[in-house]
Structure 1
Amino acid sequence: MRIVAGDWRGRRLAALGKGDPAAHLRPTTDRVREALFNMLAGGRFGDPIIDAVVLDLFAGTGALGLEALSRGAASATFVETGRAGLRLLRDNIASLGCADRAQVLAVDATRLPAATEPATLVFLDPPYGKGLGEAALAAAQARGWIAPAALVVWEEATEQAAPPGFTRLDARRYGDSWITILRAE
């Protein structure tokens, strides 16, 4: 895995190894990340990356949030509980030298603490088929993590409907993954 574009383009991320099957550690592939960020940067959704405050739920290796930082996001909060994911995430933040713009919360994404600053760009990549995406999004909204008009990028095994408080803008399939784009109302 590598950073696809931006300041850290081509920089390798920590090797996944065997990952963490119990935590369903399944990083977004370089190809899907590139397609996703090209879609976001295409202008259809405004300019959601530059100066964004990013929330990366079920962060795993942090590839989505780190890609956003590389492309000009102001800061990122990574939420992860898996031991392997946390180790890889912290290694990636250290190797890219972005600890001043990155915060790691080792908490359950469905039980978030109160936000210190609402996110304008949210990445949501829960374990597939477990219903955790809806719960995490509701928790983030209830605890002040999602700014009005924030963009939410939800990766799941199936196309997702917009939960209350969100409007569905787009959905695209990439192999066995669906990317659903939502906007907070």
Structure 2
Amino acid sequence: MRIIAGKHRGLALASVGKGDAGAHLRPTTDRVRESLFNLLLNGGYGDPVDGARVLDLFAGTGALGLEALSRGAAHVTFVDDGGKARALIRENVGKCKAEGVTKIFRRDATKLGEVRGAPFDLIFLDPPYGKGLGERAMGAAFSGGWVAPGALIVWEDNSPITPPAGLSVLDSRKYGDTLITILQADEE
């Protein structure tokens, strides 16, 4: 696993091999991450990464948020309740020397509570597949004020999702067994 582009291009990140089933870690492959960011940057959304406040829910290794940071995001908040995941995120944040522009929360993404600070412009959501956790996490994000009006949400799953009220599907692409859905929050 490595950073694909930006100021940390080519930087190797801490690896969990093919994933850690016990810790529910299933890192997004470099190829899928590259395709996802190409879609974000060339899909008619402007540049949703540059200067963005990014929320990485079910962050795992933190690769999605760190890729955004490498490409110009202003801040990334990582949320994961797994000890192994948070250790990997801390290691990867250290490799990127990004301690000053990141926060790591030990929290269940489906029980976020109220946001402390400004809401987020770009949200990565990569829950364990097929358990309905993405829907619950987005519900918690909306009710806690974590989602900025017009925010883009990148939702990774293995089957079509049912977006909660307040989100519109903009695009959906399949990469192997991974389905990436890009959504936008209502402007109000």
Tell me whether the two structures share a fold, i.e. TM-score over 0.5: yes
Counterpart Cα distance in 2 of 1:180 and 1:38: 14
Secondary structure of the residue aligned to 2:48 is coil
Secondary structure of the residue aligned to 1:39 is helix
Task: Please tell me whether residue 108 in structure 1 is matched to residue 115 in structure 2.
Answer: no
Task: Please tell me whether residue 164 in structure 1 is matched to residue 165 in structure 2.
Answer: yes
2:120 maps to: 119
Secondary structure of the residue aligned to 1:141 is helix
Secondary structure of the residue aligned to 2:155 is strand
1:18–1:170 CA distance, 2 compared to 1 (3 A): closer
Deviations 1:108-135 (A, max 9, x none): 0011131121000000000000100000
TM-score by length of 1: 0.97
- In the TM superposition, residue 21 of structure 1 has moved relative to its aligned partner by 1.3
Extract structure 1 runs of 4+ deviating beyond 6 A: none
Counterpart Cα distance in 2 of 1:78 and 1:158: 24
1:82 maps to: 82
Q: 2:50, 2:73 within 8 Å by CA — same for their partners in 1?
A: yes
TM-score by length of 2: 0.95
- In the TM superposition, residue 159 of structure 1 has moved relative to its aligned partner by 2.0
Task: Please tell me whether residue 155 in structure 1 is matched to residue 168 in structure 2.
Answer: no
Deviations 1:40-86 (A, max 9, x none): 11151121000000000000000000000000000000001112111
User: RMSD of aligned C-alpha atoms?
Assistant: 1.1
Count, aligned residues: 185
Counterpart Cα distance in 1 of 2:170 and 2:43: 13
Task: Please tell me whether residue 30 in structure 1 is matched to residue 26 in structure 2.
Answer: no
2:16 maps to: 16
- In the TM superposition, residue 95 of structure 1 has moved relative to its aligned partner by 1.2
Deviations 1:140-177 (A, max 9, x none): 11101000000000000112233211111000000000
Percent of aligned pairs sharing the same letter: 57
Q: 2:19, 2:27 within 8 Å by CA — same for their partners in 1?
A: no
1:137 maps to: 138
The one-letter amino acid paired with 2:61 is T
Task: Please tell me whether residue 70 in structure 1 is matched to residue 76 in structure 2.
Answer: no
Query: Runs of 5+ in structure 1 lacking a partner?
Result: none
Counterpart Cα distance in 2 of 1:142 and 1:24: 26
